[in-house]
Structure 1
Amino acid sequence: MTMKVSASVVALVSILLMLVPLAARADEFIVGDDQHWRFGLNYTAWAYEYTFVWNDTLVFKYDPPNGTNIPHNVVLFNNIHDYDACNINKSTLLANVTQGAGEGFRIRLLNLTPYYFACGIHEGFHCRNGTMKFTVITLD
């Protein structure tokens, strides 16, 4: 009986030790760097500059609507076809127009599948313009 408990403890400790480096290597990226999430910046080019790995976090920062600025939000598409077409009706709203204020909206990259992000404001105009959209492929 003691032998079984010891083997279980060793197995658990081994698994935990394997997970520590994964958590330690996670980075946080502010989308658009110091330009944040705004109209007119090429986010495909921005994303191309970085390597994203499992457990990294993206932070979308943008000003809430105040009557003088252009509002933004963050949507996620399930597939490349809806992303390419900017089919906002088939996207999922991740962050509304106010959630990018302050510390911003955070999303942790926990899937090893592509993420297709865009701004869905004005029925997808910002997405269709081609600049407020980008793809992230997380690496293991």
Structure 2
Amino acid sequence: MGFTITQGLMLVLLIASTMAVITARPFGNSINTQTSNKIIVGGSYHWNYGFNYIEWAIKHGPFYLNDTLVFKYDPPTPKTFPHSVYLLPDHDSFIKCDLKNAQRQGNPNQGAGEGFQFVLKNKQPHYFACGEHDGIHCRNGTMKFFVTPIDRSVR
């Protein structure tokens, strides 16, 4: 028993649809299901004052469990404003830039060279902010963002 033209066209359509689903790239990012990704926070702008990291995180998501966020920033000098990386405990602290219960993850000197690295190990929101000078860069809305990593199997 041979294929009819209709059956052949249906088979081609099924194969093409399957390939489209397999190669789809949600949110414009390529997905590697076997390994984690290293993601430089802020891209070529790095972790610096005057950049909207919330927009950056939305544009560059989704983020996955075991991805590594790399925070690159210049060490402090007499002419520069130092930066750091704090992990805030919850959404309310993030909105208010309340650093009382935050944990410093990267000090002002750790962003030089290869940068400070943070691995996303939990499927919970991770709230990041610059905490130097009582969090002024966070409070003015520039140096803060959050991500909620998902399993790689979720597409």
Name the structure 1 match of 2:38: 28
Gaps in structure 2 of 5+ consecutive residues = 1-31
Larger radius of gyration: 2
TM-score relative to the length of structure 2? 0.74
Dislocated runs of 4+, deviation >2 Å = none
User: Alignment partner for residue 52 of structure 2, among 31, 42, 62?
Assistant: 42
Tell me, in whole angstroms, the C-alpha distance in 2 between the residues paired with 1:79 and 1:88.
11
Name the structure 1 match of 2:89: 78
User: Alignment partner for residue 107 of structure 2, among 96, 103, 109?
Assistant: 96
2:149 partner letter: T
The alpha-carbon deviation at position 25 of structure 1 amounts to: 3.0
Tell me, in whole angstroms, the C-alpha distance in 2 between the residues paired with 1:129 and 1:29.
24
**Which structure has more helix as a fraction of its residues?**
1
Name the structure 1 match of 2:80: 69
Tell me, in whole angstroms, the C-alpha distance in 2 between the residues paired with 1:120 and 1:36.
16
**Which structure has more strand as a fraction of its residues?**
1
Q: Size of the alignment, in residue pairs? A: 119
TM-score relative to the length of structure 1? 0.82
The alpha-carbon deviation at position 94 of structure 1 amounts to: 0.4
1:122 partner letter: H
